[in-house]
Amino acid sequence: MTDEPSIFNIPNALTTLRIVMVPFFGFALLHHGGHSESWRWIAYGLFVVAMVTDKIDGDIARKHNLVTDFGKIADPIADKAITGMAFVGLAIIYPVMWWVAVPVLVREWGVTLARLSIARQVVMPASQSGKVKTMAQALALGGLVAPFHHLSGRWDLPGDIVWWIAVALMALAVVLTMTSGVEFVRDVIRHRRTSDVPAEA
């Protein structure tokens, strides 16, 4: 049995960085009520950095066997914290987004807490729909955080196109969020049923 690697490693440092970035991202997104274009672009930059480091720290941890218990807990929390802040911030700026933010956040945090609670018994791999959901959600949130629809001049039409693509991706992400949540519950129930069979035998 190999010892767990030290928690003081690059993947965990990147995960911690994402958590620290959350309040700064929220401040930039909601500065001047979310109507400051320059601050919205800063928020977009922070969000992109968070999404990129989320990918990088996972790849490094798996490639160099740096997966730790801290990382297993902190990584999903960091991911849900930054996306949760994006959902809440966008809902404050565009109140209609509350209809999207509330059910999505309930599902996301519910599944995250469930994963953490059963992490010692089994690692539930992300489904294919869950992976597509994560990508669609990140692209949609990024497209809505950035003030593309406020661009003017020759960038007016391209900005509007990007904005509506982000809206369409958000609709797709909401559908996949709910369906992948149902799949997760189904897989957990299936695992518990199969794991109970040897115990009863």
CATH number (domain holding residue 112): 1.20.120.1760
Cα dist. 155→60, 146, 167 in Å? 38, 14, 18
Categorize the per-residue pLDDT at 106 as very low, low, confident or very high, splitting at 50, 70 and 90: very high
pLDDT surpasses 60 at 124: no
pLDDT surpasses 70 at 118: no
In a domain, 2, yes or no: no
In a domain, 5, yes or no: no
Higher pLDDT, 30 or 108: 30
Element of type H or E holding 186: helix 156-200
Q: Which of 34-48, 51-65, 85-99 has the lowest mean pLDDT?
A: 51-65
7 close to 16: Cβ distance less than 8 angstroms: no
Cα dist. 39→65, 106, 147, 169, 177 in Å? 38, 28, 10, 23, 29
Give the range of the structural domain holding residue 190, as residue numbers without chain letter: 10-200
Higher pLDDT, 45 or 128: 45
Average pLDDT rounded to a whole number, residues 74-81: 89
pLDDT of residue 125: 57
- For 70, the token pair is 């801290």
pLDDT surpasses 50 at 17: yes
| Average pLDDT in the chain | 86
In a domain, 124, yes or no: yes
pLDDT surpasses 50 at 201: no
In a domain, 160, yes or no: yes
Domain count, the chain: 1
Q: What is the pTM of this model?
A: 0.86
pLDDT surpasses 50 at 200: no
Categorize the per-residue pLDDT at 180 as very low, low, confident or very high, splitting at 50, 70 and 90: confident
d(CA 170, CA 182): 18
Average pLDDT rounded to a whole number, residues 96-124: 80
pLDDT of residue 174: 92
pLDDT of residue 33: 93
pLDDT digits (tens, 9 = 90+) for 135-178: 999 999 999 999 998 888 899 999 999 999 999 999 999 999 88
pLDDT of residue 123: 56
In a domain, 109, yes or no: yes
In a domain, 178, yes or no: yes
Q: Which residue has the tokens 């740096």?
A: 66
Phi, psi of 187 (to 5 degrees): -70, -35
In a domain, 51, yes or no: yes
146 close to 76: Cβ distance less than 8 angstroms: no
- H-type alpha helices, 118-155: 128-145
Average pLDDT rounded to a whole number, residues 109-119: 75
Query: What residue type is assigned to position 142 of the chain?
Result: G
